[in-house]
Amino acid sequence: MNLKELSDIHEKFVALHKRINEFPPLMREKMNRDADVILSMYQSSMMNFCDGATRFLHNLDDCIHDENMIVKVIETFPQAFIEESCDDGLLPIQRAAMFDKSVLFVPILAKEGMKINLGGERRLGGLLMRDSIDHRNVIQTLVLSHENGATIPLSMRAGRIKKGNERKYIQTLKQLDTMGLLPESELVNATVLKNVHIENCSLRFRFIFERHPHALQAQISNLGDIPIHWAATNLTSFMMCLEYGMQYYPEKFGFILQKNAYNQSALEIAISCLGKEKVLNCVYSYIPVESNFLHHIVRHSPCHLKDFVINYRTCINRKDDNGQLPLHVLLSHGKEQTSRNILQITDASVEILDLILLAHDSALTEKDPVNGLYPFMIPAVQEINMQNNMPSRKDKSSLNAIYTLLRRNPNACLESI
């Protein structure tokens, strides 16, 4: 039976039923019973149609479906659009965001959701509704879905984002942004940024950092961590954070030396997790040798100074904003510390002093503009201060530094008189 025949029969039946009171009682009873049967069959058919619409909206595929088809189904069967799946309690828009075959339809689903205020006010057409699996809203799912899908059941993981298909998620995020449905607060927050180490999400984090550079310095834990601290466990992610950090915050060296509550810098975490050679090569690629990087290494991560002196030897004769050379900072840094470990690193690093002096021998005769002392005087003053503060101290490591400085240029002592 085609639709025209069905429409004709429907019109005739309705017209006949309008005249029901013109017929004898027995006929009226028969007609009412038949009407109830037909109504029941109609309702059953509509339920089947709605179930089919629900299955359709929960299994979208951009290879065989299009937006017009989706809109027509939603307009005809609006209940199917708000129907949760019996298997996992997901709405169509939530499920669509989890799979690369359907993610491109999220914007049109959000647009339709806005029409019916899906999820309530300020839920952006369902985009801010949390799912029952990852407990993320749709925007978070768009950023964080990846092929190794977290808590998704094994039966569902096969259909999730495949490596190389991240571009679909980028396209979706950009479209939502154009529609005004991508609030900054849903991208720049701890829930999202804590996942910066997931390599298969790197293109989406690039999108976030390009659009919101301040996300690079957002605190994402109670321990003072920022994204690069968490990225330091994955080389690709670490390089990405350092790249954007140097692009937008070169004066802070991409936050590579910023420390958390455990007094760990991203540099130290990366070396511990990824190995020194890989991390050093990464740093050499993004932090220019014409910078004052050595000054900052001395101040914030002196234990790694030796690793950088050779590659940043052109920095050795550079002065910072205070007019200090790296040698001045190295020698005076210990004056600000009381820790014996720091003193040993600073004062007894004869090999580092030699490396610095080989590259910039004339530094021996340049006064430190901050304290007005020649280099060999700084550890001498420091040794006197330490003896005054800790008379029982037997460590004389400062003397090694003094000897090294004078041995390199004995005339420095005469020039200082």
Task: For 187-287, give the CATH class.
Answer: mainly alpha
Q: What is the pLDDT of residue 13?
A: 77
Instruction: Give the helix ranges, DSSP H, for 116-187.
Output: 138-144, 154-157, 166-178
Q: Any idea which residue has 């806005």 for tokens?
A: 114
* Mean pLDDT on 17-28: 82
Is a pLDDT exceeding 50 seen at residue 5? yes
Q: What is the pLDDT of residue 304?
A: 80
What is the enclosing helix (H) or strand (E) of 2? none
Decide which of 87 and 74 is more confident.
Answer: 74
Residues of the chain with CATH 1.25.40: 187-287
- Range of weakest confidence among 104-108, 145-149, 249-253, 294-298: 145-149
- Percent with pLDDT over 70 in the chain: 75
Q: What is the pLDDT of residue 226?
A: 97
Task: Please write the tens of the pLDDT for every residue from 205-263.
Answer: 999 999 999 999 999 999 999 999 999 999 999 999 999 999 999 999 999 999 999 99
Instruction: Give the helix ranges, DSSP H, for 293-417.
Output: 293-300, 305-309, 326-333, 340-347, 350-359, 377-389, 397-408, 411-415
Is a pLDDT exceeding 50 seen at residue 90? yes
**Pairwise CA distance, residues 187 & 319, whole Å:** 39
Q: What is the pLDDT of residue 411?
A: 62
- Range of weakest confidence among 160-169, 226-235, 295-304, 348-357: 348-357
pTM of the full structure: 0.75
- Range of weakest confidence among 13-27, 55-69, 115-129, 164-178: 13-27
- Range of weakest confidence among 3-17, 94-108, 380-394: 380-394
Is a pLDDT exceeding 80 seen at residue 94? yes
Write the CA distances from 117 to 15, 93, 110, 128, 340, integer angstroms. 38, 13, 10, 12, 64
Residue 341: pLDDT band (50, 70, 90) is very low
* Mean pLDDT on 341-359: 50
Task: Find the distance separating the first CA and the last CA of the chain, reported in whole Å.
Answer: 113
Q: What is the pLDDT of residue 154?
A: 41
Task: Please write the tens of the pLDDT for every residue from 383-416.
Answer: 555 555 555 544 455 556 665 655 655 665 555 5
Q: What mean pLDDT, rounded, does the chain reach?
A: 80
Residue 299: pLDDT band (50, 70, 90) is confident
Q: What is the pLDDT of residue 157?
A: 45
* Mean pLDDT on 362-376: 68
**Pairwise CA distance, residues 151 & 157, whole Å:** 9
Decide which of 68 and 319 is more confident.
Answer: 68
